[in-house]
Amino acid sequence: MDDLKQSLQHDLALAGFKSEVVPIRHLRDLQSELQTLTSNNDIPKEFYDDQFSDFCFQLPEILPAAKSIIVIASHQPNLILKFHLNGKKIPVVLPSNYPDETDRKFLKIISTFLVKKGYGMCEAVLPVKTLAVHAALAFYGRNNIAYIDKWGSYFRLKAFFSDMPCSSDTWREFVLSDICKKCKACLNQCPTQAICRDRFLIKHERCLTYINESVNDFPEWIEPEWHHCLIGCMVCQDVCPLNKEQKNMSRESYEFSEDETRLLLKGKTRNKLPYHIALKLKKLGILDDYVAIQRNLKALIYKN
């Protein structure tokens, strides 16, 4: 019985978070899985360099005695942001996995728990969806999105290294939802045809989320009507039966005045943004994505 693990999960669950803890040895399993995908050319090199090159599968220098990996899920809705232009109010969706407002809450819970027990922690930059699925916290959908029971895909994931020991092990092989084995809703609705009939991995280079997160110009084959989120994409999640009870879960967040909207559209560099606009983007967890946000907003505004 792993009392430390259960106690931490209990404290997090009381605050509405779901979590799992796995032994540090699975760090090598994560690395090996990613290496296999790249060596088999299942993941394009450009996509790997852009999305995966920051992952670190080494023990952290500040915590060389790390014994476990903690993965946390926080349930949160999509946000509706409102931009004003030419006297019109334009609502724009910010998908649920981008806002980081819940991070501070679970960080406080974890750090307080570990300090009291005499342990430490640090952030782990890892493929968190894959980690969560293997740790039995989540499962995969056909669209390569991670889902959690009763939450659907409306959550945010974070991972941490800790020197807290973990004797129990929930690690499992890849798990695909049983519903996905028969359902083709996401495959039929994906505007870019990124979801495949003959394999699980999507065509990453065609995924609208990947394209929206990059800082490059949109490919010429992208149709203007496909743009619908400030960053990312919600098409496959909106039609997914696993999100049936969650897809209308959203709440209104910040409004951007006409002046603020025009400033964003003008193409000012991030370091020249007025403080009040930068603060809004920071609180939404998307300031680091400013270049992509600015380009995507233009596409959404022109579409409207």
Q: Using one digit for the tens of pLDDT, what is the confidence trace for 238-271?
A: 999 999 988 778 898 999 999 999 999 998 888 8
Torsions phi, psi of 3, nearest 5? -65, -40
Q: Quickly state the pLDDT bin for 71 (edges 50, 70, 90).
A: very high
Domains: count for the chain: 1
pLDDT of 37 over the 70 cut = yes
Query: What does the pLDDT read at residue 107?
Result: 96
Please identify which residue in the block is written with the tokens 């995507």.
Answer: 296
Measured CA to CA, the distance from residue 225 to residue 302 in angstroms comes to 10
pLDDT of 36 over the 90 cut = no
∠ CA 101-284-141, rounded to 5°: 75
- Quick: pLDDT tens for 6-19: 999 999 999 999 99
Summarize the confidence of residues 29-44 as an average pLDDT. 84
62: helix, coil or strand? Answer: coil
Contact yes or no for 233/209 (Cβ under 8 A): yes
Query: What does the pLDDT read at residue 269?
Result: 86
The two beta strands, 17-23 and 68-75, are: antiparallel
Query: What does the pLDDT read at residue 47?
Result: 74
Choose among 277, 283, 251: nearest CA to 263. 277
Query: What does the pLDDT read at residue 187?
Result: 95
Q: How many CB atoms lie within 10 A of CB 138?
A: 27
Contact yes or no for 65/163 (Cβ under 8 A): yes
Summarize the confidence of residues 19-48 as an average pLDDT. 87
Contact yes or no for 127/70 (Cβ under 8 A): no
- Contact residues for 101 (Cβ-Cβ < 8 A; gap 6+): 76, 283, 285
- Contact residues for 131 (Cβ-Cβ < 8 A; gap 6+): 22, 30, 69, 71, 157, 159
224: helix, coil or strand? Answer: helix
pTM of the model: 0.92
Measured CA to CA, the distance from residue 32 to residue 38 in angstroms comes to 10
Query: What does the pLDDT read at residue 259?
Result: 95
pLDDT of 1 over the 70 cut = no
Q: Which domain holds residue 157?
A: 3-303
Query: What does the pLDDT read at residue 280?
Result: 94
Query: What does the pLDDT read at residue 65?
Result: 96
Query: What does the pLDDT read at residue 2?
Result: 84
Q: Quickly state the pLDDT bin for 165 (edges 50, 70, 90).
A: very high
How many whole angstroms from its chain centre is CA 46?
20
* Structure-token pair, residue 209: 């989320």
Contact yes or no for 93/250 (Cβ under 8 A): yes
